[in-house]
Amino acid sequence: MNIRFYNARILTMEEPLSIINGELHVSGNTISYVGTSAQAPKDDKFDREIDCKWNLLMPGFKDAHTHSAMTLMRSYADDMPLQDWLNQMIFPVEAKMGAEENIYFTKLAVMEYLTSGITAAMEMYLDPYAIQLAFSECGFRNVQVSGINKFGPSLEEMEKRYIELNKKDDLSSYMLGFHAEYTCEKGLLEDIAAMANKYKAPVFAHISETKKEVEECKGRYGVSPIELLDQMGMFNYGGGGYHLVHVSDEDIEIIKKRKMYVVTNPASNLKLASGIAPIKRYLDEKIPVAIGTDGPASNNCLDMFREMFLVTGLSKVREEDAACCDAIDVLKMATVNGAEAMGLEDCKYLTKGSKADLIMIDLSKPNMQPLHNIPKNIVYAGSKLNVALTMINGKVLYEDGQFNIGIDQEELYAKCNDLFKKIYGAAN
Amino acid sequence: MNIRFYNARILTMEEPLSIINGELHVSGNTISYVGTSAQAPKDDKFDREIDCKWNLLMPGFKDAHTHSAMTLMRSYADDMPLQDWLNQMIFPVEAKMGAEENIYFTKLAVMEYLTSGITAAMEMYLDPYAIQLAFSECGFRNVQVSGINKFGPSLEEMEKRYIELNKKDDLSSYMLGFHAEYTCEKGLLEDIAAMANKYKAPVFAHISETKKEVEECKGRYGVSPIELLDQMGMFNYGGGGYHLVHVSDEDIEIIKKRKMYVVTNPASNLKLASGIAPIKRYLDEKIPVAIGTDGPASNNCLDMFREMFLVTGLSKVREEDAACCDAIDVLKMATVNGAEAMGLEDCKYLTKGSKADLIMIDLSKPNMQPLHNIPKNIVYAGSKLNVALTMINGKVLYEDGQFNIGIDQEELYAKCNDLFKKIYGAAN
């Protein structure tokens, strides 16, 4: 399909940020023109022309850490201490989840991502073959990360997944990773590090999410999780950490030296009482920060608008400095930095030759008025209500509240509610 | 108009919380029936029957602290230290605002309240006659609070407003109040307290929002703002404080003794780096907490869903206790407690005889699925996207994204953008 968006404000996210008034052309899965209408090629044929009515086109948000199928646990395990939450509520449910649950609840999550303008997710969850299938059937761009830990899978299985699932199709890729230091034996971590060095690959994991995690790691090994992992050569080819709430000066030096990404998950860190990450410090140190929603058992929603406000708001209150963590930096985290962390270099700008992963922000809702500073309006006042259209890989998957992902919405909800009852009947 | 809502889930917010499957009838501005369809009166005639498709009806949210017309400053003064923000950006703009700005930007705010399911606002801003007109013309329920301070108006003018604007129409009321201790001379505060005692009236004000405010008050008078005000008899007939972030044990005792309300404004407290209010302590002490958005220069959006998540999330991280500040308590703050603080006793439940101030939450959006615990879904995952309908005083003012408040939306936006340019041209 060739699609022309016209009468558009366009925020390409290239530096320096500016808004173009003009049009954007999509040819297949690629952006073929961005610029003024006067300069646009006149001989292109379009299957569809979309009047943007001077609403805003911008790159889709990149959700750089999530566990999509945890939509199954939404509002099931709230207002509980972290350890009870994990041991009594989450683990027993996960033990009952099969491919079917992974597929249907991942698809439910995809629907929610689309409503929030999220066009790609960095996923870590249970059954990567089922999950890849779910994402791909919906047309949703996904970067899966291995969540290996002492309960499984085997190292050989992880390597097989890395080979088979990486670039399985145009929408899917797979990266090395592991769940967390505290769920892996030392030998396993060393084996993962060896594999990262074998493939010259970056590695991602949950790191330093809670004070307790850091203290227990120091108790076991005398060093912080990042120090331990770096000693093994885990990040010789980069990668990053999810959460990174509790870090030392030494940790910061390693993060910089290894060119690691910080993926921050502020809503989850609030709801599980983990703490507030030192985002201002990361910005000062020029460490790239991306943003994730985390899974909907600990958040409980998949909403980049909520996360963006929290990144800047929590930094301001943490540092007692209303001037810190500018909204524009946060908008870059949610788009450009996320794309870079996920290896989606061709999805980060709205430029000719980039993949057509874009959203239309409805500026005609009252929360976007007046139109004084549109990027700040998005970060400080934006909501799912402002997402008029979400396009991934050149396909419009969500528009005016309707989904176009090959799913009967009512059927999916009925199936999810049935599976919910089946699982919880079995788990309780 | 007589309206019948059927095929509805109904959360009346009466204790103990439960969801009724049935229907709700509105007769004029009043709820005339809530219950099962089997027991519903069969002889009522309706002007309109609304199939709720098993979506949820609940009381509208009550925004218990706001400055609506600050929509004029949205994204104008962000990422700045508080004092520069106030002195360089906010005050010079406010000095240029006349009745016209107050009217149009209040109406813009009303539109946004409706998208967030907010059916009443406790307002404190510049020109109460213009503001009352703006709210009333839209059909929006409003409780204005005097913001008197050393710059104006006179005490006589405040009393005149109290008499004239209180219960001016069925939608509007007016309460005594003042801006804050730090913007009033001691003599003025004493005069306000005397007036509160004369009218046996509650008093509301910004209190203990920042550490600096509390320290400076102690420097001036040797006591905290609450202690100072209580010594004058300010809260002999109740009232409450906006923000109340920085309080002592002595302050807490006064708040309890005077049966004051705490109105918390978490998003504003983040964005201005004021701190995190001790909501768990207030809950433990059985102090009623209501929720406000504050004005859109310091938030920047009017969204009760954001505020609700923040109230519980920030409490959890502040107390390092994921179990504290249950979502259900927060839902009560946003509805029942807000109504009580604002003197809107007849708007707090969906019960026969109550005013028909209600909203329909769209459960068919993916963020509300599965339907395991609907109240928690609303607090933890809800967004403006879920507000399908907002009714105030028996009139549907917002439905399926369309407004019915006697305003041409495009005209209003054009006017607001023009006024914005006029004001900022003059202010800079």
DSSP classification of residue B17 = P
Domain interval for residue A375? 2-60+346-403
What Cα–Cα distance (Å) separates residue B175 from each residue in A103, A332, B206, B265?
Answer: 55, 44, 14, 19
Distance CA A146, CA B144 (A): 56
Q: Are residues B107 and B161 in the same domain?
A: yes
Q: Are residues B132 and B18 in the same domain?
A: no
Distance from CA of B339 to the nearest CA of A (A): 24
Q: Are residues A52 and A143 in the same domain?
A: no
Domain count, chain A: 2
Q: Is B323 exposed, middle or buried (0-12, 13-18, 19+ CB in 10 A)?
A: middle
Segment 264-283 of chain A within 8 Å of chain B by CB: 267, 269-276
- CATH number reported for the structural domain that contains residue A217 in this entry: 3.20.20.140
> Does residue A159 form part of some domain?
yes
Q: Check residue B426 and give its pLDDT.
A: 64
pLDDT (tens digit per residue) in B180-204: 999 999 999 999 999 999 999 999 9
Q: Say yes or no: B372 contacts chain A, CB-CB below 8 A.
A: yes
pLDDT bracket for residue B427 (50, 70, 90):
low
Q: Check residue B392 and give its pLDDT.
A: 98
Q: Say yes or no: B115 contacts chain A, CB-CB below 8 A.
A: yes
Among candidates B267, B369, B373 on the partner chain, residue whose Cβ is nearest the Cβ of A413: B369
Q: Is B35 exposed, middle or buried (0-12, 13-18, 19+ CB in 10 A)?
A: middle
Q: Check residue A427 and give its pLDDT.
A: 55
> Does residue A416 form part of some domain?
no
| Mean pLDDT along residues B101-118 | 98
User: For each of chain A's 428 residues, which pLDDT tens digit applies?
Assistant: 999 999 999 999 999 999 999 999 999 999 999 999 999 998 889 999 999 999 999 999 999 999 999 999 999 989 887 778 888 889 899 999 999 999 999 999 999 999 999 999 999 999 999 999 999 999 999 999 999 999 999 999 999 999 999 978 999 999 999 999 999 999 999 999 999 999 999 999 999 999 999 999 999 999 999 999 999 999 999 999 999 999 999 999 999 999 999 999 999 999 999 999 999 999 999 999 999 999 999 989 999 999 999 999 999 999 999 999 999 999 999 999 999 999 999 999 999 999 999 999 999 999 999 999 999 999 999 999 999 999 999 999 999 999 999 999 999 999 999 999 999 886 54
Distance from CA of B27 to the nearest CA of A (A): 30
Q: Check residue A168 and give its pLDDT.
A: 86
Coil, strand or helix at B41: coil
Note whether B79 contacts A327, CB cutoff 8 Å. Answer: yes
* Tokens representing residue B120 in the block: 């009443």
pTM score above 0.95? yes
Q: Are residues A31 and A170 in the same domain?
A: no
* Residues counted in chain A: 428
Note whether B312 contacts A373, CB cutoff 8 Å. Answer: no
Q: Are residues A241 and A381 in the same domain?
A: no
Q: Say yes or no: A246 contacts chain B, CB-CB below 8 A.
A: no
What is the sign of the dihedral through the CA atoms of A177, A145, A344 and A331?
negative
ipTM metric: 0.97
Segment 60-89 of chain A within 8 Å of chain B by CB: 71-72, 74-76, 78-82, 85
Note whether B380 contacts A75, CB cutoff 8 Å. Answer: yes
Distance CA A271, CA B261 (A): 25
- CATH number reported for the structural domain that contains residue B33 in this entry: 2.30.40.10
DSSP classification of residue A335 = I
Q: Are residues A318 and A371 in the same domain?
A: no
| Mean pLDDT along residues B366-370 | 97
> Percentage of chain B with pLDDT > 90?
93
Q: Check if the beta carbon of residue A105 is closer than 8 Å to that of residue A416.
A: yes
Among candidates A75, A306, A312 on the partner chain, residue whose Cβ is nearest the Cβ of B372: A75
pLDDT (tens digit per residue) in B147-156: 999 999 999 9
> Cβ contacts of residue B12 below 8 Å, gap of 6+?
B20, B34, B58, B59, B349, B350, B351
Residues of B whose CB is below 8 A from A424: 372
pLDDT (tens digit per residue) in B122-170: 999 999 999 999 999 999 999 999 999 999 999 999 999 999 999 789 9
Q: Check if the beta carbon of residue A383 is closer than 8 Å to that of residue A45.
A: no
